[in-house]
Amino acid sequence: GDSVTQMEGPVTLSEEAFLTINCTYTATGYPSLFWYVQYPGEGLQLLLKATKADDKGSNKGFEATYRKETTSFHLEKGSVQVSDSAVYFCALSALDTGRRALTFGSGTRLQVQP
């Protein structure tokens, strides 16, 4: 079945540091890829998405590029802030196989220190 693998956390960075959270996937079809963010005590918010190979999703300084050849969708940000501290989930859905539900990775907790 479909699966998503994320780097384990927590990831601890100083403010203004560069962030990379690795995400790779396995899918039988041609999935859409997503990054969701969950702040403490809150629900999941869509951060960015990409629906086809070489698409780059971006939002709030975060970017991720859909790499079909390496089955990856790594999340990056050039300069993190304390307010970025949250849990980040990589996810996929494979519309072409009929499975519209999201399959999530295990989540990566980011802690940004001032």
- Site for other proteins, rule CB under 8 A: 32, 34, 36, 42-46, 49, 51, 89, 93, 95, 98-107
Question: Could you tell me the smallest distance in angstroms from the CB atom of residue 24 to other proteins?
Answer: 15
Position of tokens 């519309």?
A: 95
Give the number of residues written for the chain. Answer: 114
Question: Could you tell me the smallest distance in angstroms from the CB atom of residue 107 to other proteins?
Answer: 5
- State the first-to-last Cα distance of the chain, in angstroms, to the nearest integer: 41
**Helix (H/G/I), strand (E/B), else coil: 8:** coil
Question: Could you tell me the smallest distance in angstroms from the CB atom of residue 15 to other proteins?
Answer: 26
Cβ contacts of 53 within 8 Å, gap of 6 or more? 66, 67, 68
Q: Which is nearer to other proteins, 25 or 93 (CB)?
A: 93
Q: Which is nearer to other proteins, 20 or 106 (CB)?
A: 106
